[in-house]
């Protein structure tokens, strides 16, 4: 049973995550020969201030 863990900044909508999960499951099924029912996608929301890379906190995205 494949389990795909996706860590990302908090703030994405349930609809965005669902669309992403569908695409990920399709890719896993297509490339690994498993079934959609056996594939799990787990989203882990991380607050921006808790995510450090390259020695610092990534910059905040520009407001739309």
pTM confidence score: 0.79
Band (pLDDT 50/70/90 cuts) for residue 21 is: very high
Is residue 8 within a helix (H) or strand (E), and if so which, with residue range? strand 3-9
CA gap 27, 21 in Å, rounded: 10
Band (pLDDT 50/70/90 cuts) for residue 45 is: very high
Band (pLDDT 50/70/90 cuts) for residue 61 is: low
Domain spans of the chain? 3-39
Region 45-61: what's the mean pLDDT? 78
Predicted pLDDT at 55: 74
């Amino acid at each position: 049973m494949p389990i795909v863990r996706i860590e990302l900044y908090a703030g994405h909508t349930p609809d965005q995550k669902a669309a992403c999960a569908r695409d990920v499951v399709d890719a896993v099924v297509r490339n690994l020969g498993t079934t959609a029912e056996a594939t799990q996608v787990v989203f882990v929301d991380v607050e921006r201030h808790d995510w450090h890379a390259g020695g610092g906190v990534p910059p905040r995205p520009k407001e739309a």
